[in-house]
Amino acid sequence: MNLLRQSVLSAALCVLSLSIAYVAAARDIFLKTDGMNLRDEHGLGRIVTLHGVNVGGWLITEAWMCPLDTAGAKDDYSVREILTRRFGPAKRDELLATYQDHWVDGEDFARITALGLNTVRLPFWYPNVEDENGVWRTDAFRRLDWFVEGARDHGIYVILDLHGVPGSQSDSQCTGRLRKKDVNGLEPDFWNNETNLARTVEIWRRVAEHFKNNPTVAAYDLINEPSGAPTREALWAFYDRLYRTIRAEDPDHIVCLEGCWGGTIDGHYQGWGWGSLPAPGQFGWTNVMYQQHSYEWDWRSLPKQIANTDRQVADWQQHQKWNVPCLIGEFNCMAPEQGWRYTLDQFNRNNMSWTIWAYKSANGGGEDSWGVYNCRLPKPPVPDLLKDSAEEIKAKWSAWGEGAFVPNPMLARVLNDATPRK
């Protein structure tokens, strides 16, 4: 009789589990905006606030946070150029694949959800999808598809972030190619170059066509930190061009526009903030989310970190008449734990979605908060791209897999308290 009861109970539990799984699978998780909120069920369901991280350093690398090279390669472009010159395009791609296979693996999705997070902002740049001549890669969507599918299986939303455009939207290393004149004589060649503008339009056309019905994709983040735009109006005009290109392919996904631009307007300097963006009605934009990035570079000053957070919240509050949701797409408090707790509490209380920069960093250690996961000490080896053989480069990059990182204990505590659990 006991065995019979156990069998019946097991069967009932199995049916219940399948029923729960069916309901979860059947639920429409597709996000759209509803005023200042995000809601699932194409904007008609539950309010969803995005709490997450940026998976930086994976598809587009930055020398300061990634184990790229001991010989001094300054950016992702330089790494690719060195590998191409030494080994040719095929071997270059093989070596980059080794790095990418180890920087992010299938277990990272479970680690992200274990922190209570529900979103990843995923930076990518143009060489991931096309070559230097603008020819579309045959494997353009392989990495993006793999990541979106893994996120889907773990209940994670993905914001697709075009982090670097052809010609670079600013002179920063984060565009993929450092273009400061005092370093290499280059300047950004994007805003006044119609070829590069058109290439960027085509990237978003193809991305929107490819992901238009995918509910795991929360939003299309048009251009990361477009601080090199010559004027605010030039930025707005190109945003509108991208918006209309995307809407022709995909009427449903949220379009995310960043206010990361500063310049002089009517004789007064306008820094990064909501004032760098237009009221959405000016262009007839709908189903859009506005994004800001928030960094106070005096890392050790708790009062300055708190003041920076207060400025972000006040700026958002002053523009709520625009009736669009807010995303703090990048931020890092770095200060003592109190700064993190205060910031996340303020963002949460004010219905501001957020994604921390960054998920992993080879630069930090212990409670240095550049990474939610930081490098385990002693650090694995980093290749010398000018001298190491292809096999040595592959072996060294392979060492930067799962065992190379450990959770930042301070951020683990903070996130455990700051994110709602299902």
pLDDT digits (tens, 9 = 90+) for 105-158: 999 999 999 999 999 999 999 999 999 999 999 999 999 999 999 999 999 999
Do 76 and 163 form a contact (C-beta atoms < 8 A)?
no
Within 13 Å of residue 36, how many CA atoms lie on the same side as its CB? 12
pLDDT of 266 reads 87
- Mean predicted confidence (pLDDT) in 3-32: 50
Pairing state between β 263-265 and 268-270: antiparallel
pLDDT of 202 reads 98
Residue with tokens 């529900």: 118
pLDDT of 7 reads 35
- Structure confidence by residue, pLDDT tens digits, 300-338: 899 999 999 999 999 999 999 999 999 999 999 987 899
Number of H helices and number of E strands within the chain?
13, 15
Taking the C-alpha atoms of residue 359 and residue 55, their distance in angstroms, rounded to an integer, is: 5
- Name the pLDDT band for 422 (thresholds 50, 70, 90): low
Taking the C-alpha atoms of residue 387 and residue 70, their distance in angstroms, rounded to an integer, is: 10
> Does 35 or 187 have the greater pLDDT score?
35
pLDDT of 72 reads 93
- Structure confidence by residue, pLDDT tens digits, 244-301: 999 999 999 999 999 999 999 888 898 999 999 999 999 999 999 999 999 999 988 9
| Average of per-residue pLDDT values in the chain | 92
- Mean predicted confidence (pLDDT) in 172-182: 92
- Name the pLDDT band for 25 (thresholds 50, 70, 90): low
* One-letter amino acid for residue 152 of the chain: R
- Name the pLDDT band for 374 (thresholds 50, 70, 90): very high
* H or E, element range at 393: helix 390-398
Give per-residue burial for 29-42: e unless 16+ CB within 10 Å, then b: bbbbbbebbbbbee
- Name the pLDDT band for 40 (thresholds 50, 70, 90): very high
Query: Mind listing the domains of the chain with CATH numbers?
Result: 29-418 (3.20.20.80)
pLDDT of 1 reads 39
